[in-house]
Amino acid sequence: MAARENAILERACDEARVEEAEEGAAKVNFLIRGPHGAGKVYSEMFKDNSDRTWKFTYLVVEIVSPQHAKTQLMLESYLPA
């Protein structure tokens, strides 16, 4: 990921972990907090060469608090060609 994209990601969340498996692919994990709870986000992204933007393969949001609302949401996208 370019330095500019990393800077944007760092400002967007307090603790983000980016693993670049190969050129044009990355796994991004970070914590989220809101007025009614907190959670963890896991995603895998790839750079689409046709329009040069980052797109996700999957995005998982795991709600961890409050305890009674524990759930997991998964959004899948298409796979790169």
Provide the residue range defining the domain that includes 47. Answer: 3-76
Task: Kindly report the length of the chain.
Answer: 81
Non-local CB neighbours of 26 within 8 Å, separated by 6+ positions = 1, 18, 19, 20, 44, 45, 46, 54
Residue 41 counted as domain residue: yes
Is the preceding peptide bond at 66 cis, omega within 30 degrees of 0?
yes
Residue 81 counted as domain residue: no
- pLDDT tens-digit profile of 9-29? 444 445 566 666 667 888 888
The whole model's pTM is what? 0.64
Number of domains forming the structure of the chain: 1
Is residue 79 pLDDT above 90, yes or no?
no
- pLDDT tens-digit profile of 52-61? 888 888 999 9
Residue 42 counted as domain residue: yes
